[in-house]
Amino acid sequence: MIIALGYRQVRDRPGFSPGFWPAAAAGAAFWILMAFNQSPGRDASASRYQYGGAIFIVLILANLLQGERLTRRALLCGAAVTAVAVALNLVVLRQGRDALLQQALLTRSATAAIDISRRTVDPEFQLNPEIAGTPTLVDVFAGRYLQAVDEYGSPAYSAAELAAAPEQARRRADIVLGQALPISTDTLLGGYAPGAEHSGCTEAGNGARSALPLSPGSTAIDVAPGPHASFSLRRFAEGEFPVATEGAPGGSATTLTIPADTASQQWYLQIVARQAVFVCPAG
């Protein structure tokens, strides 16, 4: 359309208005630099480039149409095209809103986990995509983040807000907490003592899934001889145990350590094992 109007301008009225050249030069510089900077995530179809390109197109068209009187038919056609474009872009805007809400949910839950674990989290702990569930937080390191929180306040969910947040946020907070605190296991192979006294312990395993409440600190887990046993935890999540551990082989003794933090919510341990497993307060 711009080429056709430019050709008609040269044919019917040689020359362009003074305002045409600055708009054309700025638009050309924008598109040429965008082409040289093309890379994954920087495609011409990206909305941030489309908005800028649309502004330059409107400026160029306004100068090419300067002095023109549009007919009623042309105005109606333009209005119809505009209505269709607006309707289609409303869908895109809604999708963009949903994507931003999703990022806000992940951001508030991941940073909430850092707030909760601030007593023990490593200052160099990073919210990489594998932990945070999004690449947008890759520049967030615990030490600098907590320093900013002390100066400006926290953008995160509070522990009470997190407990009432959507399940995806609660699940992600558990995953980040498991790494940030961090939760750890120390297994002694062959450490299970047959016939050992397990008074005060909770027996689990034997093919049944169990959810045992745990307090911060150390917990001893004795696995009777048999196949590998798996241990996983949850705190804010419901219906699943997203914090995985290495588990332990049969005939071993494991110490599970959960550092204390600023939240009061209970941890729960799930054990999946075919043989007996004894969960005891570590002495």
Tell me: the pLDDT tens digits for 209-268?
Answer: 778 999 899 999 999 999 999 999 999 999 899 999 999 999 999 999 999 999 999 999
Per-residue pLDDT, 14: 62
Per-residue pLDDT, 10: 57
Tell me: the pLDDT tens digits for 93-111?
Answer: 888 889 899 999 999 999 9
Per-residue pLDDT, 200: 81
Instruction: List the beta bridge partners of residue 277.
Output: 204, 223
Cα 16 from Cα 2, distance rounded (Å): 13
Cα 21 from Cα 53, distance rounded (Å): 16
| Beta strands, E only, the chain | 184-188, 202-205, 210-214, 217-223, 230-234, 243-244, 252-258, 267-272, 276-281
Q: Where are the domains of the chain?
A: 2-68, 104-179, 184-281
Per-residue pLDDT, 8: 56
Is the predicted pLDDT of residue 11 greater than 60, yes or no? no
What 8-state DSSP symbol labels residue 157? Answer: P
Tell me: the pLDDT tens digits for 140-195?
Answer: 999 999 999 999 999 999 999 999 999 999 999 999 999 999 999 999 999 888 77
Is the predicted pLDDT of residue 12 greater than 80, yes or no? no
Cα 146 from Cα 107, distance rounded (Å): 14
CATH hierarchy code of domain 184-281: 2.60.120
Is the predicted pLDDT of residue 4 greater than 80, yes or no? no
